[in-house]
Amino acid sequence: MQKLGLLLVLASLTLMAACGGGSSVPPTTITSVSVSCSPSTIQYGQTSQCSATVTGTGNFSSGVTWAASSGTISASGLFTAPSGGVTSLQVTITATSTQDTSKAGTATVTVNPVQQTGNVQPIVVDAGPAPQSFVTANEAFTSVTVCLPNSSTCQTIDHVLVDTGSSGLRLLSSAGGGELTLGLPQTNDSSGNPLYECEVFLDGYTWGSVSAADITVASEKASSVPVQVVVPSSASPAVPASCSSQNPPGGTGNEGDSLMAFGANGILGVGLFQQDCGGFCVTNSTNPTVYYDCPSSGCTPTTATLLQQVPNPVAMFATDNNGVLIQFSTMVPNGGTPSANGSLIFGIGTQSNNQLNGAQVYDVPDSGSNAGGFTTIFNGNTYTSSFIDSGSNGFFFNDSSIPTCSSPNQYWFCPTTSPLSLSAQNQGTNMTSPVSVSFSIENADNLFNTSNTAFSTLAGPYGSTPPAEFDWGLSFFYGRNVFTAIDGMSTPGGPGPYFAY
């Protein structure tokens, strides 16, 4: 009887298990795989970084295997296009679930031939201008040729900073250590006196005369354009107090005092606006003070007509004059690279190489307190005057939870988790909802302890007080096509001003 009872108990337990009376592990299934590649349009021989999102139920695997219909793709999703093509090619990128090979996702990368067109100017991120007494970090440079107006007497200036955060060409004079030796003629204001300018940036200001030059970049030319010749404080006329007092908190003062202070031989401002001050300076001479009437007796604030102001050179071109595309097709990996090469492409939608190709347009106001700014939502804060600025050498934002580095790198972030993955949302005035953007930052001490100069993960605090701006600097540009449309200009994405990427 005891043996029979034991068998009955075992049978009972078996029946309970079969009927689900015990615990069980929920099934794991893969429901879908989606793929995206950025940038989605590249040239032969260039790269695009692809990513896959796997969704499912239970404790499923997010692993995928990659395949490309042409070219090669790495295990991490980095697609490299074939080289030497002469026609456009549509490449299908496929990510297949390693857990369930019946589930896969695809994306298409358009590969275009390398075009030799007159609207493309090479740009490079490297250690900076000679003499190499200092090393720059994350600055994009190009060359600009300036000539005496209506003359064949010219000079090509290298290592000119490409800046989507300002408008106008500014060249560091030889007196300040720059390359400019050509004696460009000064222009006069409405009183017939020499016109000078005080232009304030986030890290200092520039002081110098407004002079005239013919400007050539790539095959694009603008004639008799006002430019600023930046001079040191030791030059005459002296920097007015109303200019030097505008030096921003923590700023370096007059950046024309040395090549090291300026960091470049010039600034090519290809930003959102046709002039560097616009309608404000036509009727206002102070708050801020930008232009100065400078007779021999000294300089006083003055107004300046639109034609007298330093303009965005792109707006002065005969064609391809509605904006620019900055293209770094290859993503800079964590840790940085010794250098990076890209293109400054003039015009938006004017040639086959500057089409928007589905880039999201972020309209910005052309006047008012938020002129030139879109909205960034980050870490619970809303920044209403954010901007995309190739002239800033990193991401700049405030986050008290991220430690800063110790001196001499105290103006940079040194997160304890490096790389640190972050995300934000951007929204233009034309949009009903924001769009998410992911980025990473790394410990700046570690980055600067290499011989690299190009960094996609360099970031620092914006300032001591919470600003209204989130500065998407050069770190943001790598691996993206970033458009800057000029105000009042017609484009396929609507009239400027706007950013698009």
pLDDT digits (tens, 9 = 90+) for 369-417: 899 999 999 999 999 999 999 999 999 999 999 999 999 999 999 999 9
CA distance 367 to 2: 94
Is pLDDT of 247 > 80? yes
Q: What is the mean pLDDT of residues 424-445?
A: 98
Check whether residue 52 and residue 159 sit in a common domain: no
Provide, for the chain, the percentages of residues in helix, strand and coil under a 3-state DSSP scheme, each rounded to the nearest 5: 10, 40, 50
Nearest CA to 50 among 479, 500, 481, 343?
A: 479
To which residue do tokens 């955060």 refer?
A: 165
Torsion-angle region of residue 215: left (phi > 0), alpha (psi -120 to 50) or beta? beta
The mean pLDDT of the chain is 91
The pair of three-digit structure tokens given for residue 55, joined into one six-digit string: 């969704």
CA distance 279 to 477: 30
Per-residue confidence band for 18, with pLDDT thresholds at 50, 70 and 90: very low
Q: Identify residue 154 by its one-letter amino acid code.
A: C
Check whether residue 186 and residue 106 sit in a common domain: no
Nearest CA to 461 among 246, 245, 249, 162?
A: 249
- Dihedral angle sign, alpha carbons of residues 381, 272, 242, 207: positive
Nearest CA to 292 among 353, 366, 247, 239?
A: 239
Domain end point (choices 88, 112, 136): 112
Q: Which residue has the higher pLDDT, 480 or 19?
A: 480
Q: What is the mean pLDDT of residues 259-275?
A: 96
Give the ranges where 28-149 is alpha helix by DSSP (H): none
To which residue do tokens 């219909």 refer?
A: 69
Check whether residue 103 and residue 125 sit in a common domain: no
Check whether residue 188 and residue 288 sit in a common domain: yes
- Order of all β-strands in the sheet with 471-472: 435-441, 420-427, 374-378, 381-388, 471-472, 395-396, 459-460
Q: What is the mean pLDDT of residues 423-452?
A: 97
pLDDT at 46: 87
pLDDT at 305: 97
Q: Which domain holds residue 414?
A: 347-500
pTM higher than 0.75 for the full model?
Answer: yes
Nearest CA to 138 among 313, 339, 300, 434?
A: 339
pLDDT at 21: 47
pLDDT at 134: 84
The pair of three-digit structure tokens given for residue 211, joined into one six-digit string: 């002079």
Check whether residue 210 and residue 177 sit in a common domain: yes
Q: What is the mean pLDDT of residues 307-320?
A: 98
Check whether residue 441 and residue 406 sit in a common domain: yes
Q: Quick check: is 102 in a domain?
A: yes
pLDDT at 15: 37
CATH number of the domain bearing residue 184: 2.40.70
Per-residue confidence band for 139, with pLDDT thresholds at 50, 70 and 90: very high
Check whether residue 383 and residue 418 sit in a common domain: yes
Q: Quick check: is 451 in a domain?
A: yes
pLDDT at 115: 56
Per-residue confidence band for 440, with pLDDT thresholds at 50, 70 and 90: very high
Pseudo-torsion of CA 274, 276, 277, 281, nearest 10°?
-100
Check whether residue 286 and residue 199 sit in a common domain: yes
CA distance 265 to 128: 9
User: What would the pLDDT profile of 167-221 be if each residue is shown by its tens digit?
Assistant: 999 999 999 999 999 999 999 999 999 999 999 998 899 999 999 999 999 999 9
Check whether residue 383 and residue 469 sit in a common domain: yes
Is pLDDT of 254 > 90? yes
Domain end point (choices 60, 87, 112): 112
User: What would the pLDDT profile of 323-371 be if each residue is shown by its tens digit?
Assistant: 999 999 889 999 999 999 999 999 999 999 999 999 999 999 999 989 9
Domain end point (choices 91, 112, 133): 112
Check whether residue 446 and residue 477 sit in a common domain: yes
DSSP sequence for 216-269: EETTEEEEEEEEEEE--TTSSSPPPHHHHTTPPTT--SBGGG-HHHH-SSEEEE
Per-residue confidence band for 17, with pLDDT thresholds at 50, 70 and 90: very low
Q: Quick check: is 434 in a domain?
A: yes
pLDDT at 487: 98
pLDDT at 85: 64
Check whether residue 404 and residue 255 sit in a common domain: no
Lowest mean pLDDT among 114-123, 224-233, 476-485: 114-123
Contact between 467 and 398 (Cβ < 8 Å): yes
Lowest mean pLDDT among 9-18, 48-57, 289-298: 9-18
Q: Identify residue 27 by its one-letter amino acid code.
A: P
pLDDT at 468: 84
Looking at the structure of the chain, the number of domains it has is: 3
Lowest mean pLDDT among 48-62, 102-116, 194-208: 102-116
- Between strands 340-346 and 323-327, the pairing is antiparallel
Phi, psi of 324 (to 5 degrees): -140, 155
Is pLDDT of 315 > 80? yes
Is pLDDT of 8 > 60? no
Q: Which residue has the higher pLDDT, 123 or 113?
A: 123
Contact between 343 and 102 (Cβ < 8 Å): no
Is pLDDT of 13 > 50? no
Percentage of the chain beyond pLDDT 70 is 92
Is pLDDT of 9 > 70? no
Contact between 74 and 58 (Cβ < 8 Å): no
Q: What is the mean pLDDT of residues 305-311?
A: 98
Q: Quick check: is 443 in a domain?
A: yes
Q: Quick check: is 432 in a domain?
A: yes
Check whether residue 267 and residue 382 sit in a common domain: no
Q: Quick check: is 352 in a domain?
A: yes
CA distance 124 to 38: 20
Lowest mean pLDDT among 219-228, 242-251, 286-295, 386-395: 242-251
pLDDT at 341: 93
Is pLDDT of 481 > 90? yes
pLDDT at 435: 98
CATH number of the domain bearing residue 78: 2.60.40.10
Is pLDDT of 14 > 70? no
